[in-house]
Amino acid sequence: MVDKDFSVPKLTFVVPVFNGDQFINALFISVLNQSNTNWQCIVVDDGSTDDSKKLADLWSERDSRFKVVSKKNGGLASARNLGISLAVTKYIMPLDSDDIIHKDLVTEFNKSIQSEEFDLISFDVEFFGIRSGKLVLPNFSYKQLLLQNCFIACSIFKKDLWTEVEGYDENLKSFEDWDFWIRALNHKSKIKHIPKVLYFYRKHSTGSLTNTFKSNPEYYFGLYDYVYTKNKKIYQENFPNPILAYQENEALRKFNSKVKSTFFFRLYTTFKRIIKK
């Protein structure tokens, strides 16, 4: 049953698209089929050379809740920033153009903020494509977030947080969401998790960060170095002793053992360099 809610929308979906014409119709269908009709969707075409813009325009002609803007190709972070800057709602949900959302996502979101507002709202995530099963992420604490991302990029958050930290870092081509959470959240942030699968994450055989790491591990290490160095004051305040932080964090130890034996050495030297500066 569709709930025709005519109140002022609280949530805007922001969809950056670059050459995504193969998948975006499936995403837009999942948005259109929401059981609660009170939403807006801003599509940012990031210089696509395929039919992405044409398809997005057709959706905006079909339903006025879809808005389409175009820009010169500048990457995911810049496209998200543009879309969010145009949103007028209190909450934002970035969407990846090849994923889909559950029909009750907006309904569940509205329920979650009926009596209390939150800085960030997360939910269970399920894979589809070449992989199935649920995505497992660490439970949130701010210290845990500094060591390992605790949220998918497509979590719901207050637009005010984005404004306060001046958006996503457009220099980052990966990890831009993790860096954003580090700057936007803190120990006092109010987080809500909805224990239902509301997001479906498409897994491809190519193009993932895992494949990038396998082919170019220095790129992967460089991302960590950039995030740590950029936010060095935050890390200094939370980890005055990097060795102890590593010893106490079982998840980080397991992660390191899976990646490369030299990774901890790089991680330790990065912390050490940051703290000494």
pLDDT per residue over 15-73, tens digit each? 999 999 999 999 999 999 999 999 999 999 999 999 999 999 999 999 999 999 999 99
Residue 254 above 80 pLDDT?
no
Q: Judge whether residue 206 has pLDDT over 90.
A: no
Residue 159 predicted with pLDDT over 70: yes
pLDDT confidence bin for 250, thresholds 50/70/90: low
Instruction: Assign domain 11-205 to a CATH class.
Output: alpha beta
Residue with the larger pLDDT of the pair 71 and 207: 71
What are the Cα distances from residue 162, in Å, to 142, 151, 169, 177, 195?
Answer: 17, 16, 11, 11, 25
Angle, vertex CA 93, rays to CA 163 and CA 37, nearest 5: 125
Residue 244 CA to residue 138 CA, distance in Å, equals: 19
pLDDT tens digits for range 115-155? 999 999 999 999 998 889 999 999 999 999 998 899 999 99
Q: What is the pLDDT of residue 261?
A: 45
What is the pLDDT, as a whole number, of residue 260? 47
CA distance 169 to 150: 18
Cα–Cα distance, 226 to 236 (Å, whole number): 15
Q: Over 80: is that where the pLDDT of 255 sits?
A: no
**pTM of this prediction?**
0.87
Instruction: Tell me how far apart the alpha carbons of residues 263 and 256 are, in angstroms, rounded to a whole number.
Output: 6
d(CA 185, CA 119): 8
The secondary structure of the chain as a DSSP string is: --B---SPP-EEEEEEESS-TTTHHHHHHHHHT-SB---EEEEEEES-SSSHHHHHHHHHHH-TTEEEEEE----HHHHHHHHHHH--SSEEEE--TT-EE-TTHHHHHHHHTSS---SEEEEEEEEEES--SB---PPP-HHHHHHS--S-TT-EEEHHHHHHTTS--TT-SSSHHHHHHHHH--TT--EEEEEEEEEEEEE-SSS-HHHHHHH-HHHHHHHHHHHHHHTHHHHHHH-S-HHHHHHH-HHHHHHHHHH-TTHHHHHHHHHHHHHH-
The reported pLDDT for the residue numbered 34 is 98
